[in-house]
Structure 1
Amino acid sequence: MKIPSRWVRNSFCAVVAGLAVNVAQAEQVAMETTGSASVLSVIPQAMASHWAADGVDLQLILNQTLTKSLLKLGQGTLDTAIVPPLAYNALSNGSGPYAGLGDKAVTLSKDVRALFAIPGSPFHPIVWADSGIKTWADAKDKRIYIGPPAGAANKQLIALTKEGGLEEGEYEPVKAPWGAANQGFQDGQYDVYIGAFGLGSQVLTELSLSRDVYFLTLEEDTVPPKGWGLTKVVIEPGTYAGQTNEKPVTTWGTLMMMASRKDLSDDIAYQLTKTYMENRAAVAETNSLLRLLPKTGPFDGLNAPLHPGAVRYYKEVGIEIPAELLPPSE
């Protein structure tokens, strides 16, 4: 007998029909990620049917705060989640959002394991094409959006702006929630809007159709800070309808990791990893937002030790594992 796979729950519950798995074989796995419009939710939704076909019944919980999801993994109350490497750094040394936990945060970090890396969203340093701002130097003394009031993005966007040539104090930083940032730019609240969008984002396409945009670029040989969950990304001319850049734009993009609780079964960790790695190229062809999937290495940006089930898959297919990512001996 077959039943529809339960795999998406929002604040209430959203059921996506059409997936069928064998009840006797399916293993239910709860996974948390961010908002439904984010590439970080599009990826697991696109992978759900492939995991279902391989016996993993995914219950995807959207609109979550990923720092809290990571905490749940350490506590063993959640199976898997997409988490920022910077958040894992903070948990492992009891800083940032976990400062109040003290040594307990460090202990919890030891109960988190990584499966594979996934691309997040490239940062798009946007200005209106008629603003007169064509370089980072032109943005000196201007208002620059640097992300939400709190979180890892602030640190990353400040570093991106510094890489462009502007030190803190040489511009006016503006903070606002991601959800309000797009409207804030249209309302003139800042001159440079560093937005996080999947390549080819419909939201950014619509913005560029309302008024031509221009993206500020970094030097081609830019290297993001190591351990910050960042990678170099190139935005080609013509990616957006109203984009006026005639040359490729070099920027940074976020890297995330699919993580799990330490005691998730080896078989489930193995299957999640195997199915993702074998189907990511095909999935990328179904949605332009996912074009970076096959270009992201499985260990890019990872800073948590791998789950033994994931290790089993990588060894099986002959992928060399960095020594620092091997799980500690128990």
Structure 2
Amino acid sequence: MTFNVTRRSLAVGVALLIAGGAAFAQQAFFRIGTGGTSGTYYPIGGLIANAISATGENGVEGLVATAVSSNGSVANINAIQSGASESGFSQSDVAYWAHSGTGLYEGKPKVEDLRLIATLYPETLHIVARADAGIKSVADLKGKRVSIDEPGSGTIVDARLVLAAYGLSEKDITPEYLKPGPSGEKMRDGALDAFFFVGGFPAGAITELAASTAITLVPVSGPEAEKLIADNQFFAVNTVPAETYKGVGEMQTISVAAQWVTSAKQSDDLVYNITKALWSDGTRKALDAGHAKGKLITLENAVSSAGIPFHPGAEKFYKEAGVLK
């Protein structure tokens, strides 16, 4: 078989290749580091990524956003700092420590380029215990088998702070370093007494566990919690309503804020368009319908609990929207 290639057809082919290359060059890839697949970051990240991508109802032209599973806050900030990710979710405390070189980042280089896109929703500190483990307070964790999450997560940092507030450390427990999903599996098998998790409720892994195993939530309250909040102003009082998880009554605890952060190196125009898409009608519908925490992600809350500077692109949008002076 032979093909007759005319000058005109060759020119058309070259033009199409050039156009295709130009379109590819204009495409922006924007990763969102989230957390474990059984937590809250991952599904929320997926909803936002789908909504702001070019295929979304009010998405950014040429943008391909993806939610990437990770170890959580610290891992996401490290990825942003190294250029391995364009953005990620972080607890407000971890973001503050990273930017200021304090707390968890004491003695380490400051992540001075860390910038805020939006505060999303409150992240509740859960201490989930087997109902038959006899754990009624944080102090009762002494001598128990307790998972405090993986290294690199925000949960492990807060777990250590809470234990210390009640006079305990990892030496006083038999520590495990597992995400909520594997923690729930070990608890079902009777191989774990309790686990910490910081995230929006209802958390899928805990809901699944409560459906098959009798659990309780351990309160973080009293003078110890009050001092913890006074010493660490990124903490706030929080309440988990009764029956959020099957058979579990109302429980008082503490929370931090979930934030979407990026690098100052990201283009102002790109982050402006991403922020605008985040607060579009299409994203609003997706968040409201997609997850229980979605309804708490509001434009008004976006500029609260900042702790670190806003990215100039996000700041421009919030000023135009009238929620930031």
**Is TM > 0.5 for Structure 1 vs Structure 2?**
yes
CA contact (8 A) 2:124 2:199 kept: yes
Deviations 1:77-99 (A, max 9, x none): 64322234415624653986796
Q: Which residue number in structure 1 is paired with residue 302 of structure 2?
A: 298
How far apart are residue 173 of structure 1 and its match?
Answer: 4.8
SS at match of 2:220: coil
> Which has more radius of gyration?
2
Percentage of identical aligned residues: 18
Aligned CA distance change for structure 1 residues 83 and 55 (closer, same or farther; 3 Å):
same
Q: Which residue number in structure 2 is paired with residue 30 of structure 1?
A: 30
> Structure 1-normalised TM-score?
0.71
Q: How does 1:221-300 map to 2 (within 5 A)?
A: 222=226, 224=229, 230-241=235-246, 243-245=247-249, 248-279=250-281, 281-282=284-285, 283-294=287-298, 297-300=301-304
In 2: Cα distance, 1:38 partner to 1:151 partner? 12
In 2: Cα distance, 1:140 partner to 1:134 partner? 12
Deviations 1:44-101 (A, max 9, x none): 32123432323252331512355454344345564322234415624653986796xx
Q: Which residue number in structure 2 is paired with residue 93 of structure 1?
A: 101
Aligned CA distance change for structure 1 residues 122 and 284 (closer, same or farther; 3 Å):
farther
Q: Which residue number in structure 1 is paired with residue 311 of structure 2?
A: 307
SS at match of 2:136: coil
Q: Which of the residues 314, 319, 322 maps onto 1:318?
A: 322
Q: Which runs of 5+ in 1 are unaligned?
A: 1-22, 322-330
CA contact (8 A) 2:80 2:263 kept: yes
Between 38-47 and 193-202, the greater mean CA deviation after superposition: 193-202
Q: Which residue number in structure 2 is paired with residue 212 of structure 1?
A: 214
In the alignment, structure 1 residue 40 sits paired with structure 2 residue 41: yes
Q: Which residue number in structure 2 is paired with residue 193 of structure 1?
A: 195
Aligned CA distance change for structure 1 residues 290 and 260 (closer, same or farther; 3 Å):
same
Deviations 1:290-326 (A, max 9, x none): 34424982244433211111111121122235xxxxx
CA contact (8 A) 2:146 2:195 kept: yes
CA contact (8 A) 2:49 2:67 kept: no
Q: Which residue number in structure 1 is paired with residue 17 of structure 2?
A: none
> Structure 2-normalised TM-score?
0.72
Q: Which residue number in structure 1 is paired with residue 59 of structure 2?
A: 54
Instruction: Output the amino acid matched with 2:155.
Output: A
In 1: Cα distance, 2:182 partner to 2:245 partner? 21
CA RMSD across the alignment: 3.6
In 2: Cα distance, 1:36 partner to 1:217 partner? 25
In 2: Cα distance, 1:192 partner to 1:296 partner? 36
Q: Which residue number in structure 2 is paired with residue 325 of structure 1?
A: none
Q: Which runs of 5+ in 2 are unaligned?
A: 1-22
CA contact (8 A) 1:124 1:194 kept: yes
CA contact (8 A) 2:95 2:308 kept: no
Q: Which residue number in structure 2 is paired with residue 122 of structure 1?
A: 124
How far apart are residue 236 of structure 1 and its match?
Answer: 0.8
Between 89-98 and 275-284, the greater mean CA deviation after superposition: 89-98
Counting helix residues as a fraction of each chain, which structure ranks higher? 2
In 1: Cα distance, 2:152 partner to 2:120 partner? 23
Aligned CA distance change for structure 1 residues 95 and 125 (closer, same or farther; 3 Å):
closer
How far apart are residue 237 of structure 1 and its match?
Answer: 0.8
Q: How does 1:124-203 map to 2 (within 5 A)?
A: 124-149=126-151, 151-163=153-165, 165-168=166-169, 171-178=172-179, 179-203=181-205
Aligned CA distance change for structure 1 residues 136 and 79 (closer, same or farther; 3 Å):
closer
In 2: Cα distance, 1:125 partner to 1:157 partner? 9
In 1: Cα distance, 2:253 partner to 2:103 partner? 28
CA contact (8 A) 1:140 1:170 kept: no
In 1: Cα distance, 2:260 partner to 2:153 partner? 19
CA contact (8 A) 1:78 1:261 kept: no
Aligned CA distance change for structure 1 residues 227 and 115 (closer, same or farther; 3 Å):
farther
In 1: Cα distance, 2:162 partner to 2:312 partner? 35
CA contact (8 A) 1:228 1:301 kept: no
Aligned CA distance change for structure 1 residues 225 and 272 (closer, same or farther; 3 Å):
farther
Instruction: Output the amino acid matched with 2:270.
Output: I
Aligned CA distance change for structure 1 residues 166 and 208 (closer, same or farther; 3 Å):
farther
If asked which structure has higher relative contact order (CA below 8 Å, sep 6+), I would say 2
Aligned CA distance change for structure 1 residues 232 and 296 (closer, same or farther; 3 Å):
farther
